[in-house]
Structure 1
Amino acid sequence: MPLLRLEVENFKSYRGKQVIGPFRSFNSVIGPNGSGKSNLMDAISFVLGVKSAQLRSGQLKDLIYRGRRLDPHAGNRPAAEDVEMHDDDAGDEQAVEAMATLGQTNAKRASVTAVYQDKDGAEYEFQRSITINGNSEYRVNGRAMSANAYNDRLKSFNILVKAKNFLVFQGDVEAVASQNPKELSRLVDQISGSLEYKEQYDAAKHANDRARENYTFISNKRRNMHSEVRHFKDQKNEADRFKRLQKERDASVIHHMLWQLFHISKHVGDLTKTIKQASERLPYLRGEVEEAEGNVEAARQKQGEAAQSILEQQRNLRKREKEAEKIQPDLDALDQSMAHSKNKIASSEDIIKLVKADIAKYEGSIAKYQRDHQNAKEAADKAAAEQARITAKRGLRLSENDLQQYHELKAEANLRARKERQQLEEFSMKIRSQKGALQTLQDKLKATEAQKVKLESEVQILSQRKHDVQEKSHKVQRELESARSAVHEMKAKKDSIKKRMDELNATLAQCLQNLVEAGHMQRESEKEARLRETIASLRRLYPGVQGRFTDLCKPTQRKYDTAIQTILGKNADAIIVATQQEAIECIDYLKRQRIGQATFIPLDTIQTKDINDRLRSIAPGARLAIDIIEFDSHLERAMRYACGNALVCDNMDIARNVVYEKRQQVKAVTLEGTIIHKSGLITGGQSGEASGPRWQDREVEGFKRQRDESMAELKSLAAEQHELNRTEQDTSSITRYEIERNSIDDELKEIDTRLKGVQSELKVVTQQLTGLGPQVTQAQTELQQLESQTTGIQQTVNTEDDRVFADFCARIGVSNIREYEDHQMQLMQLQNDARSEFELQMQRLNNAIKFEQSQLEAAKQRLRQNENAVEREQQKLKDRLDSQKELQTKLASIREEVQRIHEQIEQLKQDEAKTKKAFNLAKSTLNEAQAALDAATKEISNARLAIEKHANDRTAIYRRCRLEEIKLPLASGDLKKVPLGDDAEMELDFDEEDENGESSISVPDYGIKPNYSMLTAQDKRDGSTETGEELQAQIVAAANDLEQMIAPNAKMMDRMGDAENRLADAGAELEQASREVKRAQDEFLRLRKLRSDLYHRAFDHISSKVDEVYKDLTRSKAAPKGGNAYLDLQNDNEPYLDGVLYTAMPPTKSFRGIDQLSGGEKSVAALALLFAIHSYKPAPFFVLDEVDAALDAQNVARVAAYIRSRASPDFQFIVISLKAMLYEKSQALLGVMRNQDINSSRTLTLDLEQYA
């Protein structure tokens, strides 16, 4: 671990000696405000050599712990006022002792020791202490050393005190966020180490400027001295002229020769000087040309890169648009499925409503029947009890003997008329059975009638539902037809666009193929381009300029290109003009502009020969050249002038036949370019590739124009097609309507099925009702028949009973035994009837309850089925909604990216336009530089030709003097060295140019130097022919001129010598100043390069790192890629002189200045920059003081995650924070608290890893 612990003693709010630590990889310092957290950071900064001004203290002694005066009468309780130590107290031992006497707790010295561990595990103790006098002491492992040595030792561990690469003070984040570009640049300058060389850099720059100023001063001084020397030389020449004029009186005959020789020498000197001056300009001009060529090539490369970037972005755009197009059908399919599910849900919910209504009705009926059943049961019990009471009150009571006798007599009576009794019993059973069956039929009839009413109501409801669904089906069908019509129109439009795009693509492909075949782009040279520009300029200035022959005529077939080019020859590039005057003006314009040379053919003055019509049919395969070219009629004279009667022959045999055998004196040219001249000489022969392309220039221009028009239209059509793809109602809408219609049809079928089922059930119920009526009637008839059949048998049984019970009846007082039994039976029957009536009612109610329960169960079953169907469709709908949201999010992201790419393409197009403009400007500059170089070269060439002419003239004068024995005054040399032969060649020696572009000229003068003392100043000034003619007349006046001249100054030569010596001294000074300039410049350039390299190294690292860090700090689920951040330099050459632009773009937000970001966004951006800066030459630990103060909870969590992810045993974080979301992620908590009793800060350390 880099920083193991910290030992503080009487530092700021920490009283006594305290050990703070141990530290982990990620440590958080927490505590209430005022507890001493920032003092802990100050302690770390102090021990690492930070100045006191940055530790919130004016002087070092202010860092020593100062307690409070203790009240001697209140124990350790502090007094109301603290004892204040002034600066005057420093070093005053008496004051210290006095305060100690008063109970003062101030310390006399303070120290902080940082225990550091390197990668090898070795520990180092860095200690810094201060005394009450303000003195500071530095120790490493107990050994004292200077502050510089201390800092160097820290620097060996990459702890840079000046750059403060190990800490961020409280408020530094907000300060970085609000810094201007210049301040950010200084921050990079400091962290890079470049700032350390600023003083040396400024001194070197100042020295360089002073050296240049000194050089300029000495140069001007030397120039003035040179003028003075030249002035003395002019005076010397004047003296020489004086002497020469004295001799002219004796040698007037040779005066004219001397005058000629003088002016020849003067012209040669002037021309030599001209050549020298022009040669001196050549390196500069060549450098300008090379620089311009480099700029043109760089501009061309940038233009190509810009075009390539546009193509790449356009490919990316098409790719993203295709992705969007692939997603749209999936979304449409989801829409269709969701619509289908919604329809099914709606249909099922409608059925659920009906079923719930049935359930409610069934449950209501069941509840009613159950209440009726309970009421009937209670009524039956009550009626039975009441009847029992009445029976007991009314009944005839028999004694035990009478009752026993009754049973004996009854048994005797049963033995009589057994057959009749048996028959009567059987009929009684049948009657009871028939009554039960009749009651059942009557109950069934009532239930069936109720069922019929219910089914009729359900039929009515389903019929209305069917009508509503049919109306909905008709509406969807109309919308479907409308969508089909719209899609058909859209498809027709798209087909039309596609057809046109196919045509344009075919045309474009053909154009490109033609351009490739023509090879125009590769063959068009810069000279050809300049010629075209020249012709364009001439056409703008002079309306009569028509153009070149090759631009104004065209062979009727491509196979004639080479032959026509050969016939035109030098006239191919000749320019046709309307009049001779315009031709002269054009030539004058070319001379003035120094553009070049050209041949002009004026239409009004050219002489042409008549066309020999016989040649048109001279031989098969031979044709007049003028007949196989196309041109405007007003250009016929020029075409006849250029072509004449020349013939174009298909092959060499036809050409030989025309010229040799038919003896036609015409120029015959084959298709390959071979020429048979009028004289019979055969020359030429070339491939079509050499000259053919000239005839393609106009076609190529047309191809280029057609290419550009096709590409522009294709771009427009592609944009229109893209817009159609974005807005069209494609087949997915039709499919959606069809699915909706199918869903409605399914619902309609379901309703029809249900309606048919209910109608069928109603029909069955109606049939049952029809059959139940006769059944009830028949049952009633059968019951009546059974009752009539029992009458006779009952009489027989009654007769036998009367015989047996006659005496018994008399005794008990009844007329017959049936009266007794009927009375008892009536009472019993009444009792039974009272109950059976209610039991029958309860039976009917039970049957009704069972029926309604069966209907209820069936309805519930249907309800569960429909509810399950709704639940299934709702789940499907939810799943599809999730899929739809995911696809919509993806599609929105793609569309945002498409929009961004569109914006980038527009920006790139603007950049391409700028690069194109820069290329044209660079090209224009190159042309100007090349023109200047050509002009200088031409000037040198003309001067050399003029020198050669003058040298020949001088040699002729020397030869004449020798031949005629003229005593030519000579300053040196001998005329005998001059050759007398005319065949002697005069050759001038022009040495090759040296590395500076200069050339030396050696003019042969045979070692002869004429004495020009006889020539006057006027003679020397005037070299005209008139002056030469007047020289004879001036011979007489020469003596008078001598008398009027002033004698030369005798001391002039001495003064000239002094001036020459001073000039030499000035030259030496100038050389010394030049060396000083070079030395100062080299030193300045070295420091500038050093600072620039250091700065760029740090900037490149920080620039590449800040985007990565910012992405980590802004990454989230909503924006998994995070934001973007980058740095730009305002000055690439010397970046430390100007600012650094910092741009941060939070996720999902567009570009804006950092000053327009919110407070939290600024803080995150500033933190990203601080972390990126720290990553350059990082210290082994990083101390952060409340950097999360302006962050919200989300950003605090991201910062905590970032720190936690980068904390390691080799890299340590110590963070002072008040936010739990940050310090809860740390590995160790360092709590700082305030001990109010002793007015001191204390620390507690908690290892959080044991709770992980």
Structure 2
Amino acid sequence: MWCLASAGFAGFVYPTFKAFREAFSFDCFSFFPSGRVISKGKEDAGMKTVRLRDEKEVLDRQQHADMEVQKNLEENLQQLENRAHELDAQDKQMRERMKRILDASTKHKNEVIDLKKELREMQDKHRDSRHKYENLKSKIGEIENQLRESRADRHENERDAKLFQAVETLKRLFQGVHGRMIDLCRPTQKKYNLAVTVAMGKFMDAVVVEDENTGKECIKYLKDQRLPPQTFIPLQSVRVKPVFERLRTLGGTAKLVFDVIQYPLKKFDISCLICLSMMSAYNAGLFLFTLQELLAGHYGPYFNLLMEFDPPPVSVPLCMNGDEKAILFAVGNTLVCDDLDEAKVLGWTGERFRVVTVDGILLTKAGTMTGGTSGGMEARSKQWDDKKIEGLKKKKEQLESELEELGSIREMHLKESEASGKMSGLEKKIQYAEIEKKSIEDKLASLKKEKRVIKEEIDRINPELRKLKETVEKRATEIGKLEKRINDIVDRIYRKFSQDVGVENIREYEENHVKTAQHMAEERLSLSNQLAKLKYQYVIFSPATIFYLYLCLVECFPFLLV
């Protein structure tokens, strides 16, 4: 085997391939005899068809321009038709949505009508229930008062002792406990004892405290010690209506119950007590007590001296202290008079008032009349036999059973609120549906307007496009006729050549020649690339390999041997 360096290989192989490459670079038309014939025929054909070719060139330019316009019109028409289909789909979708909204709105409106009817019936029922509830509570309260008063005579002494002891314990344990109402005040005259008792009612034994927290602590203590329950009046939270001054000038025997009650701090102002306390301390023991002792009621032997003190008249109203507020809360603007006829005139004629007579008959604003009791501040004088007490108990149980059957007033309010809330929610849904309906109607109107514009544009383009197509088709026919005339002239010139080379016409020959020339150009390019690679590579070839390459080239390009 022979070994050749790259330089030796280039000196032997490269010139050979270079010769082959130069051989491929010939002009086919000038190398072969047929090439000269074709060139001569082309000159003759060009001279004879120059006018026809110019005319065809003008038509080709016009045809190209019109076809561009036709293409643009067809694209515009296609876009408009696509948009029209989109609008139809949107219109259908909007109408389906409108139908769903209308169906839902109709359903909600029917539900609102049913709810309004149900709510009216519920309100009527609840109103009747509330009225019955209030009547039952009032009757139960009256029976409880009767039961309490009927047992008062048998248990009063023991009861008073227990209550007094309990209140004293509370006063000792908790600050802010003033005492029982019965211990804080008394009627100014004996004849008003029964009237004041009836006017105060259940508040006669109520305990006056400073605030709610004190009352809660007292209640907790009573529960823990298993003592009887008490009613507490917290001064800081109770609401007291002011005294109507005109009721003090009604005339006759009518007076405010509040005015026939006396209590220690009513006779003079608290500022007077402060001055008196300071004077007492200054006089070094005339009567040594503090303002706190005065307010707590621990006057000792000096109470009479205090009550004899008569301060000078002043135009400024006296301050309302805690005990006074509690008493006004208990009796309010209740009037007291001597006989029943006068009480009826005051209570039931014109503007109505709560009136009590000195013998204990109570007339309410609602028109009810309750008989009073006899006795003084220490006891309630009404007595009941055991049989009547048992009847009252059964009546109370019956009323409580009816009250329980009515249900809770709070539950009634909750049901009404629930129905009202549901109805409000449905009404809002109806409002939102109306807003959405209006939005869809506006959208449908906009779609309709756009569809009308698109239809007008399509109607404008279609005739123009049809006319343009007719023009293009007509011109295409003219161009075809010109091409045929040109081809006939060329075919006559190349008829003998076509017969010699065995083709139907020169165009067929040119097509084959173009294909051959293209193939040769591709082969030349491939060979040139291979030579470039071999030129710069270090290759080891034997003479046999080189000869084999030569044979391959000859086999690929046999015409090179001609």
- Structure-2-length-normalised TM-score: 0.33
Q: Which has the higher strand share?
A: 1
TM-score by length of 1: 0.16
